[in-house]
Amino acid sequence: MAMMEEKQAAALRQRFLEVRDRVRAAARASGRQEDAVALVAVSKTHPAEAVAELAALGHTLFGESYVQEALAKQEAVCSLMGGEAGRQVQWHFIGHLQSKKAKDVVGRFSLIHAVDSLKLAQNMQNRLAMLPVTQTGAPAGVQDVLIQVNIGREPQKSGVAIEDAASLAEDVAQMPLLRLQGFMCMPPFHCTGDMATPFFEHMRTIRDAVEHRLGMPLPHLSMGMSHDFEQAIAQGATLVRVGTDIFGTRDA
Ligand SMILES: *Cc1c(COP(=O)(O)O)cnc(C)c1O
Q: What is the pLDDT of residues 142-175, one digit of tens each?
A: 999 999 999 999 999 999 999 999 999 999 999 9
Confirm whether 92 is domain-assigned. Answer: yes
Confirm whether 6 is domain-assigned. Answer: no
Q: What is the pLDDT of residues 20-58, one digit of tens each?
A: 999 999 999 999 999 999 999 999 999 999 999 999 999
Determine contact, residues 54/12, Cβ cutoff 8 Å: yes
Confirm whether 37 is domain-assigned. Answer: yes
- Residue 218, CA atoms < 13 Å, CB-side half-sphere: 29
What is the model's pLDDT at position 1?
Answer: 47
CATH of residue 231: 3.20.20.10
Confirm whether 26 is domain-assigned. Answer: yes
Distance, in Å, from the CA atom of 226 to the CA atom of 242, rounded to the nearest integer, reads 5
106 CB burial (10 A radius; 0-12, 13-18, 19+): buried
Confirm whether 4 is domain-assigned. Answer: no
Confirm whether 134 is domain-assigned. Answer: no
Percent of the chain with pLDDT over 90: 88
Determine contact, residues 221/22, Cβ cutoff 8 Å: no
* All residues at 6 or more sequence positions from 183 whose CB lies less than 8 Å from its CB, including other chains: 146, 147, 148, 149, 165, 203, 206, 207, 210, 218, 220, 221, 222
CA 242 / ligand 1 centre spacing (Å): 6
Residue 249 clears pLDDT 70, i.e. is over it: yes
What is the model's pLDDT at position 220?
Answer: 98
CA 158 / ligand 1 centre spacing (Å): 14
246 CA closest ligand 1 atom index: 9
Q: Which of 87-96, 131-140, 193-202 has the lowest mean pLDDT?
A: 131-140
Confirm whether 46 is domain-assigned. Answer: yes
Q: Which of 23, 42, 242 to mutate to test the pocket of ligand 1 (most atoms within 8 A of CB)?
A: 42
Which one-letter DSSP state was computed for residue 9?
H
Determine contact, residues 64/94, Cβ cutoff 8 Å: yes
Q: Is 77 in the pocket of ligand 1 (CB under 6 A)?
A: no
65 CA closest ligand 1 atom index: 15
Q: What is the pLDDT of residues 71-105, one digit of tens each?
A: 999 999 999 998 788 889 999 999 999 999 999 99
Q: How many domains does the chain have?
A: 1
What is the model's pLDDT at position 3?
Answer: 63
Q: Is 44 in the pocket of ligand 1 (CB under 6 A)?
A: yes
CA 192 / ligand 1 centre spacing (Å): 12
Q: Is 67 helix (H, G, I), strand (E, B) or coil?
A: helix
Q: What is the pLDDT of residues 219-240, one digit of tens each?
A: 999 999 999 999 999 999 999 9
Distance, in Å, from the CA atom of 50 to the CA atom of 215, rounded to the nearest integer, reads 41
Confirm whether 3 is domain-assigned. Answer: no
- 45: containing domain: 14-129+140-247
- Averaged pLDDT for residues 109-132: 94
